[in-house]
A and B are shown apart, each in its own frame.
Chain A
């Protein structure tokens, strides 16, 4: 009896930090936010239980349109990141060996030793009207005057893909490292070409990595604030900006909380739908 209760106490102590973290930093704030989102102010310091904040999201077109725009752009950014990240990961995990492989991997990570803010400013230096690209174009005679490349959707997309690349490449390299080279060779040996081996052998094997990479990138992109604000300027219309607006500018915590919850619910719904469409399960993708 003594030893089994001892094991139990040990287990509880071990798990205590996790539960405390989950409870204090995740569950408690969300419960409070949910309570705030479900009330409206009827008079100073007088609140009533209502769904008005949630109704506002659906009745005011600018809110849900911004959300849809954010979601579509995030899906596109995730897709582009996958499209660029997959060959990079394949090259690092399958074509390179030993020291070269480690070096390439470090080069992939290098930009992430700098804060996101600095990285984004780096893009601004390149893209702005008086920036590097604009000057090069003028010097080459392709453009007659300064070209503004910042503050549009393409700039946002470039920034988002760049910021997310590591989170796609790392899970892809990990899954593709576990693919035995002889499977690829067998794919060719039995008559396959590059395309069919990719479709029938490599992609099915890398699917868990693709799914987990896509989920992480999608969530990070959807919840990104810095990149759309800095690269997209005033018209970027990113949903996180709306939440920021409500909390900080309008001081409407009720609506801000409701937006926060809607972001959580809708992004979860999109991930769920994505998993269903690709016939993958979350537990498979995370192991």
Chain B
């Protein structure tokens, strides 16, 4: 596809339940054939937004366009959108083949053609013999694939997925992430995927929208969200991070000096789009992998930020291992990623280490809710 046309667009969609604003003027535009995720904590309004796109809820205001046409007056059974439900909602009273054929029967497709299409789609999701089985004979991952096949056989313009991996165990979830991405690639269907799991969103998506309290905080590629968060919420929610709250002391051409609430001085750079004045309450975020670990203070050189403390835990997880260091001066816990060279593989609890990170690895945001923290 040379020019990617917009298949799904929402314009200032708002949904209120009484006084509560579940979705607050959300606008998005999703190019055809892409994998778009909406990432947010539970209760942020992502499911409400998805149900409005599917047609089960009516927006209080705003408009939804599919292929350039407003679908507000179109009931869910006539929208070119299908949904994979959180608990999949496969019909237990039907066989696998009947589940897949259900939507085709509603379209009055001839019987022979239905059988043909069911066979084809079962082949494509890698379950060619599953047709006559009952739903309760399938494993978790197989159910997943059937639920997706049941929608894809209808060749929808947009496939909505509402946290479909939530019920699976960790191992299978990791596997299904890759498989979902592959399925999306093979079918070329636009996927809109809802999740509260940042790793699902980062691994699978072309674009991720981070949603918080009914609004989109930031929309961008997984890389942009991770390396260039636009808000404190995104910085805290996407990926793991260390965080200190405090007040801005000096501002010097984008480089800030922040005095933490514990009286600790930290250097960082202003996040893009922020404007902070001295005295303003702010949060500083540092990724665990941006922190350099050293056994001697001298090994850190003249790095901007430094701390030292004792290791309180070693969280070994293969290539993704970390330590937690308790800094006695600021009485705070710091997460730091262990380098994959195995240099610190002998590090154990109670040992003294020195930590440091440069100012450009620490990003500062105006603190929105500093009273609460």
Contact = CB atoms under 8 A, between A and B. Distances in A.
A70 B75 CA distance: 47
Interface stretch (B23-31, B99-107, B196-204, B282-290): B99-107
Interface string B78-102: 1000110111011111100000001
A191 B100 CA distance: 12
A191 B154 contact: yes
B154 A201 contact: no
B91 A189 contact: no
Given A196-B106, A200-B102, A188 B89 contact: no
Contacts of B82: 189-190
B15 interface: no
B56 interface: yes
A116 interface: no
Interface in B311-363: none
Interface stretch (A55-63, A153-161, A178-186, A218-226): A178-186
A186 B91 contact: yes
Interface residues of A, number: 17
B54 interface: yes
Contacts of A190: 77, 82, 102-103, 106, 150-151, 154
B108 to A, nearest CB: 10
B76 interface: yes
Nearest to A200: B102
A190 B98 CA distance: 13
A204 B76 contact: no
B106 A192 contact: yes
Nearest to A197: B77
A205 interface: yes
Contact of A191 (B86, B92, B94, B107): B107
Given A189-B54, A190-B106, A201-B91, A182 B86 contact: yes
B143 to A, nearest CB: 13
Given A200-B91, A200-B102, A188 B77 contact: yes
Contact of B87 (A182, A188, A193, A201): A182
A191 B103 contact: yes
A205 B93 contact: yes
Interface in B125-183: 150-151, 154
A201 B93 contact: yes
Majority SS at the chain A contact face: helix
B56 A185 contact: yes
Contacts of A189: 54-55, 76-77, 82-83
Nearest to A189: B83
A6 B327 CA distance: 64
A287 to B, nearest CB: 15
A191 B91 contact: no
Nearest to B85: A182
Contact of B89 (A182, A193, A204, A205): A182
Given A191-B154, A193-B77, A200-B102, A186 B107 contact: no
B59 to A, nearest CB: 18
Contacts of A185: 56, 76, 83, 85, 89
A284 to B, nearest CB: 12
Contacts of A205: 92-93
Contacts of A200: 91, 94, 102
A200 B106 CA distance: 11
Contact of A186 (B55, B78, B83, B93): B83
A228 B97 CA distance: 50
Contacts of A188: 56, 75-77
A183 B89 contact: yes
Interface string A187-213: 111111100100011001100000000
A205 B90 CA distance: 13
B297 to A, nearest CB: 58
The residue in B56, B75, B89, B103 that gathers the most chain A C-beta atoms within 10 A of its C-beta is B89
A61 B91 CA distance: 50
A190 B90 CA distance: 11
Contacts of A196: 106
A76 to B, nearest CB: 28
Contacts of B154: 190-191
Contacts of B54: 189
A188 B87 CA distance: 16
Nearest to A205: B93
B93 A191 contact: no
A191 B85 contact: no
Contacts of B103: 190-191
A201 B106 CA distance: 13
Contacts of A193: 77, 106
Top 4 A-B residue pairs of the complex, sorted by shortest distance between their CB atoms: A191-B106, A190-B103, A186-B89, A204-B93
Given A183-B91, A191-B106, A204-B94, 9 more contacts: A185-B83, A186-B85, A188-B56, A188-B77, A189-B83, A190-B103, A190-B106, A201-B91, A201-B93
Interface of B: 54-56, 75-78, 82-83, 85-87, 89-94, 102-103, 106-107, 150-151, 154
24 contacts: A180-B87, A182-B86, A182-B87, A182-B89, A183-B91, A185-B56, A186-B89, A187-B91, A187-B102, A188-B56, A189-B54, A189-B82, A190-B77, A190-B82, A190-B151, A191-B77, A191-B154, A192-B106, A193-B77, A193-B106, A196-B106, A200-B91, A201-B93, A205-B93
